[in-house]
Amino acid sequence: MGDVAIRPATPDDAAAICTIYNQGIEDRIATLETELRTPGERRQWMAARPARHPVVVAVTDGQVIGWGSLNSFNARPAYDHVVDLSVYVERGWRGRGVGRALLQHLLPLASRLGYHKMVLATFPFNASGVALYERMGFTRVGVYREQGELDGRWIDVLIMERLL
């Protein structure tokens, strides 16, 4: 992998973020989402996020090759110090360290923003993603059995956490 820089996402990144997110939807490896997004929708999504829920992008040679975000876990004040994580990597860059670079940026960022714990949901069959999360200190909490339906099949969702 060449030099990868992680930086805050800008509205100009919405199209690339959209493309990468749609790949995750189409490939059925990362989300229970089924409706493809548009760059305009992603731009609005980014604009509506508060400062404690940033979006960052991984960039090499001027190309966005991945993105990550810190997301609200629960609106109740008792959960103000728990943050949900999303990480998506462009198809051609998967398995090349981009996800790790995003996590290495997002973990300390979450701490600086006052979070105590990070949680994520992934598919148990996403072996490379689960292995990465475990290498980065996440532990398995449990599995939501048959949490969603994709393509006529019930899909389990693995919940993982890391104390910051």
* In the predicted structure, residue 5 carries a pLDDT above the cut 90: yes
pLDDT band at 99 (very low <50, low <70, confident <90, very high): very high
Rounded mean pLDDT, 45-61:
97
CB 57 within 8 A of CB 66: yes
Measured in whole angstroms, the distance separating CA 62 from the mean position of its chain's CA atoms is 21
* In the predicted structure, residue 154 carries a pLDDT above the cut 90: yes
For 28-58, give one letter per residue: b (16+ CB within 10 A) or e.
bbbbeeeeebeeeebbebbeeeeeeebbbbb
Residues 58 and 88: their CA atoms lie apart, in Å, by 10
Q: Measured between alpha carbons, how far is residue 47 from residues 53, 66, 106 in Å? A: 11, 19, 19
* In the predicted structure, residue 82 carries a pLDDT above the cut 60: yes
- Predicted TM-score (pTM) of the model is 0.95
pLDDT band at 1 (very low <50, low <70, confident <90, very high): low
pLDDT for position 21: 97
Rounded mean pLDDT, 122-150:
96
CB 56 within 8 A of CB 106: yes
Domain parsing of the chain, residue ranges:
5-116
- On whether the 5-116 domain is CATH 3.40.630.30, my answer is yes
Rounded mean pLDDT, 81-93:
97
